[in-house]
Chain A
Amino acid sequence: MGRRMSYREALREALREALQADPRVFLMGEDVGRYGGSYAVSKGLLDEFGPERIRDTPLSELGFVGAGIGAALGGMRPIVEVMTVNFSLLALDPIVNTAAMLRHMSGGQFSVPIVIRMATGAGRQVAAQHSNSFEGWYAHVPGLRVLCPATVEDARAMLAPALADPDPVLIFEHAQLYNLEEELPDADIVSVDIRSACVRRPGNDLSLITYGGSLQKSMQAADTLAGEGISAEVIDLRVLRPLDEVTLMVSVRKCRRALVVAEAWRSGSLAAEVVARIAEQAFFDLDAPLARVCSEEVPIPYARHMEEAALPQVAKIVAAARALMGRTP
């Protein structure tokens, strides 16, 4: 039987389970303890597990991410929450230069089994400095595994395999997903694979490739397109690094057309990477130019109507899909 819960509750349940299962696991970050987390994910955990394992940190990403890496090197299994990806730029050095590279730099002697969670994305009228989607930047770096749960199931079940990974894993939670409620297909699920992309909706005419906060929009667009006789296959990347090229190419070879939907800006983006790989590997199977729906190349505006205009929306996805099919808009 399925079990209905929110994305936020799923994340909390996964954290609680991890804390219960392994004494080396602890959660650290700004406001994760007394305040219960900026997005209320860790609410109640301080009472349950105490201040040793649910640790509030000062406002210093450089400091506490570095401390988390040190703890991982020392044999712990830290889960570090960075409030949002916007502030993670302050911790780029420990994440990229230390966590991602230490295995290589030490000739395999050290690994950094850290999990870093952070919120990402726009759409809540919190203005440019709090609305970025930089997960693609991390997906650029060898040595990191980058996950992007877009469903309640993935929110529930990606943490355990991430903790089991001996190398650093980054988990990006789109801020608009925390209130998403879904039925868990398997009520007892505790783990999912963190290697593969997933076909969320099968189709034949067009691969809609997306992840995170754009999955729901792409699913709605696929519904609209189905009403026009266009069968869109929706692929949820789930894992931004390493990319699951097999699932991508199987879908693109079948559908012969691909549209990538992602909230980050298109220049130098993960969407660009996906398009490039398709061009490299499936060029002779393409029956239309590759296309992308990304955010407009502006700092994300504060005003609601301007923010909505800047982000990928269902109507934009539908229009781009129609154009690929040679339909007039």
Chain B
Amino acid sequence: MIDFKLPSLGADMDEGTLLSWHVQPGDRVKRGQVVAVVDTSKAAVDVEIWNDGVVAELKVAPGEKVPVGTVLATLREVGEMTESGPARQTQPSPVITRHPVSPLARKRARELGIDPDAVSGTGAQGSVTLADVEAAAQVRPAVTGKPAEPAAVDRQKEMRRAIAAAMSRSKREIPHYYLSETIPMALALAWLQERNKDLPITERILPAALLIKAVALALQRTPQLNGFFRDGAFQPSSTVHAGVAISLRGGGLVAPAIHAVETLPLMEVMSTLGDLVRRARAGSLRSSEMSDPTITITNLGDQGAEAVFGVIYPPQVALVGFGSMALRPWVNSGKLHALPLLTATLAADHRVSDGHQGALFLVELRDLLQKPQTLAQACTTPEEPCRNPP
């Protein structure tokens, strides 16, 4: 029997609400199959299963809020026998679970105008305590009066709280250092324009995809920026799962991953990016995308910020930021030119890397973006044949 547990869908997630099941007891499931939808503080996420098998029992009913690690369902391995005798058809009894809030915390929350059900608990049995409520009150000002749309407001509050928790942890634990580099984009833009010229919109590639690909390749040279800092040690990642910061309508953001970017053809980076943005805003991200980015890339160029100095998303160790691309003065061989320039920044964890490595990364990134055709071609790993159309 295999336990299928609620995975952590990001460092700031400690619980989730099961919204629906896509499977029933007796169904055969395959590794990677979406079996449930779970509401995190940020989004509804399609949760994939990591084993082949047959669903034995669903342990959590839709609507239940459970901590990360809770067994959601049990699976029989393929070939595993059921107990002798006719299989019992267990009728899942309707389970009513409340978010545990101590009486004192509930009373205090009412006084403070805080929704105690939106506060995460640190007390006995995971309950919300007086201290949790008072800490939550410190983070956000009291809301007075009745919220107009409780559900929507709660999601907003939860997202804010989740971001607050992750970013506070980051600034508390990670000694950031920051570097920036101005990158001429004339060659890259010209190449993209040429490539996209006769293609329908659906097949065009935007600069964002090129930047993501360039980051992944530049990281090959500075592996100290790609991976996780856990239990006091750096765990480098052999592949680049690039978390792409996507701001959501109505506030907040998520950073789901494009997996193994260094192995993907540029067009696939582009299509995956488009797909992620669409699904992030529709609220249907997959659990694997939420849980494992090895670095985050944020691009605030569209909004007009010239440069972004980001806060690392723990347990990652670096964040790459891109500002706006605009015609700016550039001196080349003693002459002044007006060129499209882009400011790339790096926020990195000083426990893992030093400014020297960070600078090497930015230089590599700059150089790669001067050779856009190599970015388009670089899509193979020794194990995997190129999937780029010839």
Contact = CB atoms under 8 A, between A and B. Distances in A.
Interface of A: 256-257, 283-289, 323-326
B107 A289 contact: no
Nearest to B100: A289
A284 B104 CA distance: 5
A287 B104 contact: yes
Contacts of B121: 326
Given A289-B127, A323-B124, A325-B123, 7 more contacts: A256-B130, A257-B124, A286-B102, A286-B103, A287-B131, A325-B124, A326-B127
Contact of A284 (B103, B123, B129): B103
A325 B121 CA distance: 11
Interface in B95-152: 102-105, 107, 121-127, 129-131
A287 B107 contact: no
Contact of B107 (A284, A325, A326): A284
Contacts of B105: 287
B78 to A, nearest CB: 36
A288 B107 contact: no
A288 B121 CA distance: 11
Nearest 8 CB-CB pairings of A with B: A326-B123, A288-B124, A287-B102, A287-B104, A287-B130, A287-B129, A286-B103, A284-B103
Given A283-B103, A284-B103, A284-B104, A289 B124 contact: yes
Contacts of B124: 257, 288-289, 323-326
B131 to A, nearest CB: 8
Interface SS of chain A: helix, strand, loop or mixed? loop
Interface residues of B, number: 15
Contacts of A285: 103-104
A323 B123 CA distance: 8
15 contacts: A256-B104, A257-B124, A283-B103, A285-B103, A286-B103, A287-B131, A288-B123, A288-B124, A288-B129, A289-B125, A323-B124, A325-B124, A326-B121, A326-B123, A326-B124
A300 to B, nearest CB: 29
B122 to A, nearest CB: 5
Contacts of A323: 124-125
Nearest to B105: A287
Contacts of A325: 123-124
Interface of B: 102-105, 107, 121-127, 129-131
Contacts of B122: 326
A260 B103 CA distance: 19
Nearest to B126: A326
A321 to B, nearest CB: 10
A281 to B, nearest CB: 12
Contacts of B107: 284
Nearest to A285: B104
B129 to A, nearest CB: 5
B97 to A, nearest CB: 15
A277 to B, nearest CB: 15
Nearest to B127: A288
Contacts of B129: 287-288, 326
A8 B129 CA distance: 45
Nearest to B125: A289
B108 to A, nearest CB: 9
Nearest to A320: B124
A149 B117 CA distance: 45
Contacts of A256: 104, 130
Nearest to B124: A288
A288 B131 CA distance: 12
Contacts of B127: 288-289, 326
Contacts of A288: 102, 123-124, 127, 129
A284 B105 CA distance: 9
Nearest to A322: B124
A326 B126 CA distance: 7
A116 B127 CA distance: 46
Contacts of B104: 256, 284-287
A4 to B, nearest CB: 41
A285 B105 CA distance: 9
B111 to A, nearest CB: 11
Contacts of A283: 103
A296 to B, nearest CB: 22
A215 to B, nearest CB: 24
Interface-centre pick from A284, A285, A287, A326 (highest chain B CB count, 10 A): A287
Nearest to A253: B104
Contacts of A289: 124-125, 127
A150 B386 CA distance: 81
A75 B122 CA distance: 61
A223 B226 CA distance: 47
Nearest to A279: B103
A208 to B, nearest CB: 15
A286 B104 CA distance: 5
A325 B125 CA distance: 9
A205 to B, nearest CB: 11
A318 to B, nearest CB: 15
B322 to A, nearest CB: 42
Contacts of B130: 256, 287
A286 B107 CA distance: 10
A328 to B, nearest CB: 11
A33 B126 CA distance: 58
Contacts of A326: 121-124, 126-127, 129
B252 to A, nearest CB: 28
Contacts of B126: 326
Contacts of B102: 286-288
Interface-centre pick from A283, A288, A325 (highest chain B CB count, 10 A): A288
Nearest to A286: B103
A259 to B, nearest CB: 11
A253 B121 CA distance: 21
A283 B107 CA distance: 10
